[in-house]
């Protein structure tokens, strides 16, 4: 495995996500648990101004905490509840500039002020969600959503997923 660079410049978001996603592609393995661990670490290493990043996986109709970087987090989230459950239920990315304005927001870390959640959908199977929190209001924008959706697509395509998810 190639050595991971210290930081990718975030000044040009298009270039940032191109480099980040290239690194994710090169880092990919077949095993889902390896990729979830490394992909969360990769985002934590390079994405500025975040305080939590990780994955929740669909298991028996609820989201269970998986690999993450940050403070201990909520372990179970019901479909349709909070930002993660909404992304999972609607199968649409959620961009939340102020989590305190999101109805039913689940506060795992009181420092979090904004959030972006990307559903992980393979074919017609919801595998889970990628969740990223920031202690800053309006931290994420549509460019972040686009770049993170591509990041998720790489994860989905490069990973062998067990049939027990979804």
User: Which residues pair with residue 117 across a beta bridge?
Assistant: 94, 131
At residue 2 the predicted structure's pLDDT band, cuts being 50, 70 and 90, is very low
CA distance 166 to 163: 7
Phi, psi of 125 (to 5 degrees): -100, 125
Q: Which domains does the chain have, with CATH numbers?
A: 13-158 (3.30.450.40)
Taking the C-alpha atoms of residue 59 and residue 6, their distance in angstroms, rounded to an integer, is 35
| Confidence at residue 59, expressed as pLDDT on a 0 to 100 scale | 93
Give, in order, the Cα–Cα distances in Å from 39 to each of 12, 81, 100, 101.
21, 25, 27, 29
Tens of pLDDT along 76-97? 999 999 999 999 999 999 999 9
pLDDT digits (tens, 9 = 90+) for 16-54: 999 999 999 999 999 999 999 999 999 999 999 999 999
Mean pLDDT over each residue of the chain, to the nearest integer: 93
């Amino acid at each position: 495995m190639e050595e991971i660079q210290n930081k990718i410049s975030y000044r040009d978001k298009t270039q940032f996500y191109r480099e980040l996603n290239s690194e994710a592609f090169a880092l990919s393995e077949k095993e889902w648990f390896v990729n979830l661990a490394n992909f969360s670490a990769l985002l934590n290493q390079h994405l500025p101004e975040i305080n939590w990043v990780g994955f929740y996986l669909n298991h028996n109709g609820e989201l269970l905490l998986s690999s993450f970087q940050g403070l201990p987090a909520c372990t179970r989230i019901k479909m349709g509840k909070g930002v993660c459950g909404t992304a999972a239920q609607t199968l649409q990315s959620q961009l939340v500039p102020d989590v305190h304005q999101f109805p039913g927001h689940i506060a795992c870390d009181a420092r979090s002020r904004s959030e972006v959640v990307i559903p992980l959908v393979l074919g017609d199977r919801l595998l889970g969600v990628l969740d990223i929190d920031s202690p800053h209001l309006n931290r994420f924008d549509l460019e972040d959503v686009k770049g993170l959706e591509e990041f998720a697509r790489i994860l989905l395509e490069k990973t062998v997923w067990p049939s027990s998810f979804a």
